Amino acid sequence: MKRNKLEIRVCGLQRSGNHAIINWIIGQHKEKKVCFLNNVRHGDYNPFYTAREIFVYNIEKFPDGQIYQQLISDDVNLLQNLQSIPKDLLVFSYEDDNNCLKKNTEILNSFYSQEFSQKRTCYLGESEQRIDAIIIRDPYNFLASRLKRREQLTGIKDIDTIVKFWKDIAQEAIRLEENPEPSKIVFNYNRWFSDKKYRRQLSHKLGGTFDDSSTKVVSSIGGGSSFDGLNFSGDLKNSDIFSKWKKLFQLDTYYKLDKYLKMLQGAKKMKVLERWKEVDDSEMQKILLDQEITTFSQILFGDVTSRNIFSP
């Protein structure tokens, strides 16, 4: 019997909506045995041993939710046990980081390391189905988020390098949309965020049961949104507020009222397709004037920015 029913390698630059999409992917496989290896090291490395965080769901002897790598790094037997357990879904994700520049300046070659490919089965076990998912967000909102959180991110900070990486991924996404491959899926973040029909189509490709509940929650991995943090997480319900009626008599409650209202609205209310409007500096202006970025963006996302963006 093969160890994994479905194995998904997710590749995307930081602030592309990776964790929102990964949480959603996991949500399509509720009640099933799932393991997610977050932000693994590029190259010939075992994802189980290099993941920054490991998340486990519905697997015996492992509590649901989050297991930080540090907690199990000293327990080889526990880690080997997790590796060997049969899983319905195994997800491991690659992001950009400084390690990927040490040997290779081509981001796609770094994501799809040939050295790793040769040992993939040895590291992860055999899988009934393997899918490579590549995530891309429109360049203006993606780069606005990168600029907003540049110093806090673990990823590459040089904007020219990030622009090059985005262009490489955009070209790959365009290629796959023109010539689809059964084992590769492009996640167009803008469409995923705004189009329920598109999410249904993706869920079908993943062999899951369609579930949209995670779209109301902002992932806490990576610090949430660059602009709103976790303010728009839909975890907060009316009942949560009304059950704490005593706080109505505390002045501090009214200072936080706007935050509570945002949480009630949920993640779908975040203006993630308008972030570029909130960044006004020379680097953002350079990005807006880059003709190659404009061309790729038009093909993948249509008109993201208005025509009069440089008007006073």
Position of tokens 């059950």?
243
Going by C-alpha positions, the residue among 5, 17, 6 that lies closest to residue 187 is 17
21-30 pLDDT tens trace: 999 999 999 9
Going by C-alpha positions, the residue among 137, 188, 131 that lies closest to residue 165 is 137
pLDDT, average across residues 281-309:
80
Going by C-alpha positions, the residue among 303, 224, 297 that lies closest to residue 267 is 224
Position of tokens 């009304």?
242
The pTM assigned to this predicted structure is 0.78
Q: What is the dihedral of CA 138, 139, 144, 146, to 10 degrees?
A: 100
Beta strands in the chain, from DSSP E residues, in sequence order: 4-11, 34-38, 53-57, 65-68, 87-94, 127-136, 184-188
User: For residue 301, what is the enclosing H or E element?
Assistant: helix 291-301
Tell me, what amino acid is at 105? T
pLDDT of residue 172: 98
pLDDT band at 131 (very low <50, low <70, confident <90, very high): very high
56-66 pLDDT tens trace: 999 988 877 66
147-189 pLDDT tens trace: 887 787 888 888 899 999 999 999 999 999 999 999 999 999 9
For residue 7, list its beta bridge partners.
90, 130
DSSP, collapsed to helix, strand or coil, labels residue 79 as helix
Q: Are 190 and 137 in contact (CB under 8 A)?
A: yes
pLDDT band at 244 (very low <50, low <70, confident <90, very high): very low
pLDDT of residue 245: 38
pLDDT of residue 105: 74
pLDDT at 258 over 60: no
Going by C-alpha positions, the residue among 177, 150, 151 that lies closest to residue 163 is 150
pLDDT at 279 over 90: no
pLDDT, average across residues 236-257:
44
Of the listed ranges 60-64, 136-140, 207-211, 264-268, the one predicted with least confidence:
264-268
pLDDT at 268 over 60: no
pLDDT, average across residues 47-55:
91
DSSP, collapsed to helix, strand or coil, labels residue 104 as coil
Domains in the chain with CATH codes: 4-223 (3.40.50)
pLDDT of residue 293: 95
Q: What whole-number distance in Å separates Cα of residue 251 and Cα of residue 198?
A: 44
Looking at residue 225, the DSSP 8-state letter turns out to be: B
pLDDT, average across residues 209-219:
76
Radius of gyration of the CA atoms of the chain, in A: 20
Q: Are 152 and 300 in contact (CB under 8 A)?
A: no
pLDDT of residue 307: 35
φ, ψ dihedrals at 38, nearest 5°: -90, 130
Q: What whole-number distance in Å separates Cα of residue 95 and Cα of residue 40?
A: 8
pLDDT at 74 over 70: no
Q: What whole-number distance in Å separates Cα of residue 300 and Cα of residue 304?
A: 10
pLDDT averaged over every residue in the chain: 80
